């Protein structure tokens, strides 16, 4: 076996964009399918009862992943909907950001004991 490095293959760099983040603006069905297959393999054997995605960017990937895993999809929104009385609110500061983001999920969308896989841009 040769120790020569293949000239066209470069090791990933810290500044590389992760595949899941790149899917933010790419809706190529083949790419989505490959990302979902990677996630299914990665979480094989893990207990997942729901897939959650913040609206809007992660929805295509999350919907396909929830379908493949046979679990329900939950969408977290940045605003509270009229007609929903109780919400679960999550407040966080994204990496490399000075913003505080609130996400809202109807309280009945998640139950005690759910194992949630979060998919985001």
Q: Encode pLDDT of 34-65 as tens digits.
A: 999 999 999 989 999 999 999 887 899 999 99
Candidates 73, 66, 18, 74; CA nearest to 40 is 66
Average pLDDT, the chain: 81
Q: Domains of the chain by range and CATH?
A: 19-118 (3.40.50.2020)
Residue 16 has pLDDT above 80, yes or no: no
pTM for the full model? 0.72
Q: Can you tell me the distance from the alpha carbon of 48 to that of 43, in angstroms, rounded to the nearest whole number?
A: 8
Counting beta carbons within 10 angstroms of the beta carbon of residue 63, is it exposed (0 to 12), middle (13 to 18) or buried (19 or more)? Answer: middle
């Amino acid at each position: 076996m040769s120790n020569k490095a293949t000239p066209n293959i470069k090791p990933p760099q810290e500044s590389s964009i992760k595949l899941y983040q790149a899917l933010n603006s790419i809706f190529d069905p083949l790419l989505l399918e490959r990302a979902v297959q990677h996630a299914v393999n990665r979480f094989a054997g893990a207990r997942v009862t729901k897939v959650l995605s913040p609206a809007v960017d992660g929805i295509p990937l999350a919907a396909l992943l929830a379908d493949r895993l046979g679990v329900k999809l939950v969408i977290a929104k940045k605003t509270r909907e009229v007609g929903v009385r109780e919400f679960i609110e999550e407040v966080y500061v994204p990496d490399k950001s000075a913003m505080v983001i609130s996400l809202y999920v109807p309280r009945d969308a998640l139950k005690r004991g759910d194992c949630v896989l979060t998919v985001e841009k």
